[in-house]
Amino acid sequence: MRRPYLLFSLSAWSAVLLFSTVAACAGDQKKETTPMTVSNGKQVTLEYTLKLDDQSVVDTNVGGEPLKVTQGGHQIIPGVEKALDGMAVGEKKKFTVAPADGYGTVDPKAFQEVDKNLVPADSRKVGTQLEGKTADGQKVFPRISEVKNETIVLDFNHPLAGKTLYFDVKVLDVAQASLK
């Protein structure tokens, strides 16, 4: 008679051990499914819309190709990197980026006056973006900021320099960045 009791006792202990193991594994699974948050070194996939003070949309990728960046890799402006830090997959955020954390303030030294004949006649309009190369071969994209009688004033500042930027972002994915 004692034998069945011993079997029951062993079976009961086995069940307790099995239950403990299953519970521990379930706990491990919970830890693994906790969403990763944006932090330095993580690859972040984003959907975003960028607006200006007048609420005009400057850029958006909503409904298009998501943006993939490595957080902390200086691939995007500092104000956006700061705002993304700590966000989780699926999280949405609206935030404002001041010029200092965006494309900088307008630099008066970035304006250059050139002879009017250096610019094609059909491009001599305020706001026209030109393409050129520096002496060392680097591409530049100045905009015409003023047309004078004999000269044209070119603005080499980024088009969004001096502007406050308004972002709507959604984190679509956060993953460990691949080593290159």
Beta-carbon neighbour count of residue 93 at 10 Å? 12
- Sorted by where each begins, the domain ranges of the chain are 1-34, 42-104+161-176, 108-155
Phi, psi of 58 (to 5 degrees): -90, -40
DSSP conformation class of 160: T
Classify residue 16 by burial, with Cβ atoms within 10 Å: 0-12, 13-18, 19+.
Answer: exposed
**Does domain 42-104+161-176 bear CATH number 2.60.40.2480?**
no
Taking the C-alpha atoms of residue 151 and residue 31, their distance in angstroms, rounded to an integer, is: 66
Compute the average pLDDT of residues 139-162: 96
Compute the average pLDDT of residues 69-83: 96
Per-residue pLDDT at 11? 41
CATH ID of 108-155, from 2.60.40.10, 2.40.10.330, 3.30.70.3270, 2.70.98.10: 2.40.10.330
Compute the average pLDDT of residues 38-57: 97
Q: Which amino acid is at 46?
A: L
* pTM given for the model: 0.72
Q: How many CA atoms lie within 13 A of 150 on its CB side?
A: 0
Asked which of 1-5, 116-120, 133-137 is least confident by mean pLDDT, the reply is: 1-5
- Which runs of consecutive H residues, i.e. helices, occur in 34-166? 78-84
